Each structure stands twice: as C-alpha cells, then as structure tokens.
Amino acid sequence: MQLSRAIGFFHGNIFLFSTTIGAGIFISPKGVLKSSSGNIPVSLSIWALCGILNIVNGLCAAETGATFPRSAAVYFLLKRTLGSCVAFLHVWIKLFGYFIGLAAQSLLVASSLIQPFYAGCSPPELPKKCLALAILWSLGLLNIRGVKTVSWFQTLSSLVKVAILCFISLAGIVLLVMGRKENVSRFESALDAELPDASQIAEAILQGFYPYVGSTVLVNIAGEVKNPSRTIPRSLISALSIVTVIYLLTNISYLTVLTPKEIISSDSVAATWVDRVLPSMQWVVSLGISASVIDTSSCGILSGSRLLYAVSQEGQLPLIFSMLNEHLSPAAAVIQLTLLTSIAVIPSNMTNLLKYVGLASWALTGLTMTALIKLRYQHPDLPRPYKAWLPMIFVSLVSSAFLIFMPIIQSPKMEHIYQVVFVLSGVLYYRLHVHLNQHSVFSEKITCYLQLLFNMSPSEDQQNCISTEKHGL
C-alpha cells in the first residue's frame, strides 16, 4: 500500500484557500488596527507585509516538502538536523497552535450565529461559549467518522468563502467610489493618526499573521502531492497572492463603512459591517461566514489529529493516538485534540488567542529556517528538487527573531513567562516520556482499555511504503 499522490495544482490551491481563509479575516482587523494605534495606512501596510512574509515563509518551507516528500516533512527535517528534542518541541508548539486556533474559530462561529439574537449589542459570553463548545464537539464527532465524511464539501466551502469576501470587497469599493463624505473623509484624515512604536508594530504583525496560518498545509501533506518540487511552490505563489489581495480589499471595505473605534470594539467585524450596510442580509451572511469557518475548523481538527497520529508512530506520544477505528480515523487523537481545545475556549478572548497563535507560528518558522540553513551546510550534496533562494531564508529568520524578541524587550509581560513555562513543560514531557522511554504496566492497561472502548486497532506505517527513489532520497 502506498499513499496516493492525488493533489495537483488545482486541488493544492483549494487546500490553501480552505485552510487559510477562515476566522482570521473576520476578527483579526480588530487586533491589527488596535496595535497600529488606529492608524489606517499602517494597518493596511501590515496586512500587505504579512501577506508578503507569508509567501516568503511558504516558499522557504516548500524546500522541506521537496527534500522530504512525505507527511510531517518539517518534523523530519528538525529531527535530522536539530535532534529529536527540538523536533518534539516543534510538535508541542504546533499542537498548541491548533488548540488556540480551533478555539478562536469556534468562538467566531458561535458569535456569528448568536449575534442576530442580540441586535445592537454584544452577545453574553456564557451562551456564546456554550455554543462554541457544541460546534467544536460536533466537528470532533464528524472527524471520528473518517476523512471521507469531512472532505467532500471543502471545494464548495472554499467557493463560499471567496464569494463572501468578494461581495464585501466590491461593496466597499462601490461605497468608496460613490464618494459619500463620511466614507472618503476617513481616509483623507488617516495620515494625521498617531504612529505606533516598534513593539506595537510587532504585536500588529502577530495579529495580522493569524489569517494566513495554514499556508504550510501542502508541506505538511507533501507525501500526497503530485510532483511536490513543482506543485507546492506554484500553488503557494498563486493562492497566497490572491488571498493577500482579497484581504487588503476586505479591510478597505471595513474601513469604508466603519470607523476605527467601531472596528476595535467589535467581536466580529464582518457581522458589524453587514449590520451597517445590509441589515436584512445579516442572517444569510452570518450563516455563510459560519459555514466557511466551520470548514477551516474541520480541516484543523483533521490536520492536528494526523500530527498526533504521525508522532505517535514515531514513539514520541502514547501509542493510543496511532490506532485507527473502523472508519480509518485516529479517534483517540481527535478526542484528545477536541478536549484540549475545549479548555482554550472557556477562559480566553479571541484577541489574546490570535496573538498566541501568531507567536507560536513565528517560533516554528524560526526553527524551520534554522534547520534549513544547517542542512545546507551539513549536507550540501543532498538532492533538492526545489531550492529556496538563500536570502529569503535569512529574511524569514530575521523577521521571526524580531517578532519573537521585540515585544519581550520593549514591554515584558507576565504572559511571556507563561510562554517560556509552556516550552519548558514540553522539554520535561520529552525527558519523561521519550528520553526515559517509560512504559509502565498501568499505561499499557489504559491503552488496552481505550482500544476496546473506541474499537481501535494498531495501524501499519504507510509512510514507509512511499517510494522515494525517484525523488533522489
């Protein structure tokens, strides 16, 4: 048995649209504008900069997918160059990003669905979080039914996402061209706004980078991509360029209709925009936004559970996560991911969630770029069907270091200590479970019990069945 390389250029773009366009564009404008001190030109420049940096990071990571044409390619790159401990920390941070990202998406869907019942005011937190948990667990149960159950509507939902954003963008352009005084004056006085400092710009970039999270999905599933060295870079350039333009036009549309203060005070900018422009269409647009974000969340649960599945096969997580049920789904991994995401939904707000995801993403980007540079010098003769331009790798590495350390230097906060403790807890878990390789009788009994409870069986490692001879490995 071999994994089927069925993802070509078209479906590569669809996967990127499906995973990239989601919660971020509907809630991140609030955080970006707030961190930009309400400065409209700076805010729009940060959206464009995040798009460009995301394309650069994606093209650099594409070298990993071409050099190691298999799923979880970055994990194997780090394991080969920086060691098993760093590779496990990559997984530890990546899973944290999944928990927080899925929590933010669930809260956005709940906010969009419940907002029409509270016209003119913000919905209460308790019903919103209860609805978010119900949505999250529904998607978890759906994923337990297997990949075929959750994959059929991805193409359709991608078209729905693009259609909604194009509608918002075109409506904003029409309102701006019509030249209504209150719409045009907002942009005319934009240059007089206060300029943010370096720390605020770093915070704004962290907020703005979240809508682009998911752009490395093709690298993560490189084992199922046709001709990875050609398909991945082409899909990244085409899809992410379109996404960047759409995001810029959507933000211009938001700023045409709403003031910066209104955007900053809104939990769902798109819902507020629709309530101002077309109040009678709020239900339709809310359902459309919810459907598009639900698809992204479903893909996130699918991708995150497969990461748990792959690392478990390497022996760095409990064996139960690599077992499959009758629907060929790692049910235990799906349930674990859903449980931990539920914890993130309860106490947090979306703006802080996005900042944590952005910081985690840049930390992973820095690790990946460091590993790529080390691999270049350690193994210069290693076949690389696609090779990223070296200055782009250094640009990505420098930008990652700036965004990670600048907020800590300029305005240290207690949350930075929490982040360090989180990373150190990953090292502790690695030492106890992986390095010491402790397998007690008690843990084996729990594994057997869960295996019987969820009707799961150990799976064959299909990744080892992929023929890589034609790729020069």
Helical H segments across 379-440, by residue range: 390-410, 414-429
pLDDT surpassing 50 at residue 368: yes
pLDDT of 348? 54
Q: What is the pLDDT of residue 2?
A: 45
> Does 299 or 356 have the greater pLDDT score?
299
- What does the block give as tokens for 271? 């819902």
Q: Say which range, 142-156, 201-215, 252-266, 329-343, has the weakest mean pLDDT.
A: 142-156
- Between 91 and 282, the more confident residue is 91
| CATH number of the domain where residue 123 is located | 1.20.1740.10
> Is there a contact between 132 and 238 (Cβ–Cβ < 8 Å)?
no
pLDDT at 3: 46
Rounded distance, CA 315 to CA 437, Å? 9
Beta bridge partners of 324: 457
pLDDT at 29: 83
Is residue 369's pLDDT more than 80?
yes
In a domain, 1, yes or no: no
Residue entry with tokens 């460091």: 370
**What does the pLDDT average to over 298-322?**
80
Q: Is residue 135 assigned to a domain? A: yes
For residue 381, the number of C-alpha atoms closer than 13 Å in the C-beta half-sphere is: 0
**What's the pLDDT at 312?**
80
The answer to whether residue 198 scores a pLDDT higher than 50 is yes
Secondary element (H or E) of residue 324: strand 323-324
User: Is residue 215 pLDDT above 70, yes or no?
Assistant: yes
Q: How many domains does the chain have?
A: 1
pLDDT digits 0-9 by tens, 145-189: 876 676 676 777 778 778 888 888 888 888 777 766 555 566 656
What is the phi/psi pair of residue 374, to 5°?
-65, -40
Cα separation of the two ends of the chain: 19
- Write down the residue that tokens 């970055």 correspond to: 74
Region 107-120: what's the mean pLDDT? 76
pLDDT of residue 241: 92
**Looking at the chain, how many residues does it have?**
473
Domain annotation covers residue 464: no
Per-residue pLDDT of 4-37, as tens digits, reads 566 778 878 887 888 888 767 877 788 888 888 7
Residue 458, H or E segment: strand 457-458
> What pLDDT is attached to residue 192?
62
Higher pLDDT, 88 or 271: 88
Asked, for residue 470, whether it belongs to a domain, the answer is no
How many other CB atoms are there within 10 angstroms of residue 426's CB atom?
A: 18
Lowest mean pLDDT among 191-200, 217-226, 256-265, 352-361: 352-361
Whether residue 320 has pLDDT greater than 50: yes
Q: Which long-range contacts (CB under 8 A, 24 or more apart) does 439-446 make?
A: 443/318, 446/320
Residue type present at position 321: F
Instruction: Domain of residue 448: give its range.
Output: 9-459
- Count of CB atoms situated within 10 Å of the CB of 6: 9
Can you tell me the mean pLDDT for 454-461? 72
**3: in domain:** no
Mean pLDDT of 229-236: 88
Separation between Cα atoms, residue 305 and residue 18, nearest integer Å: 17
Domain membership flag for residue 472: no
Indicate whether 245 pLDDT > 80: yes
Q: Tell whether 4 is covered by a domain.
A: no
Q: What is the mean pLDDT of residues 271-292?
A: 72
d(CA 1, CA 458): 16
**How does residue 307 score in pLDDT terms, banded at 50, 70 and 90?**
confident
Q: Above 80 in pLDDT, residue 288?
A: no
Is the per-residue pLDDT at 472 higher than 50? no
Indicate the pLDDT class of residue 462, thresholds 50, 70 and 90.
very low
Please write the tens of the pLDDT for every residue from 424-457.
787 887 877 665 655 555 567 777 878 888 787 7
Q: Judge whether 465 lies within some domain.
A: no
Lowest mean pLDDT among 138-142, 191-195, 296-300: 191-195
Per-residue pLDDT, 440: 56
Give the model confidence (pLDDT) of 114-155 as tens digits. 877 776 677 788 888 888 899 888 888 888 887 667 667 677
CA triple 131-133-413, angle to 5 deg: 110
Would you say 108 and 23 are in contact if contact means Cβ atoms under 8 Å apart? yes
Q: Does residue 354 sit in helix, strand or coil?
A: helix
Residue type, 41: P
Chain center to CA of 186 = 32
Query: What tokens appear for 25 in the block?
Result: 């564009």
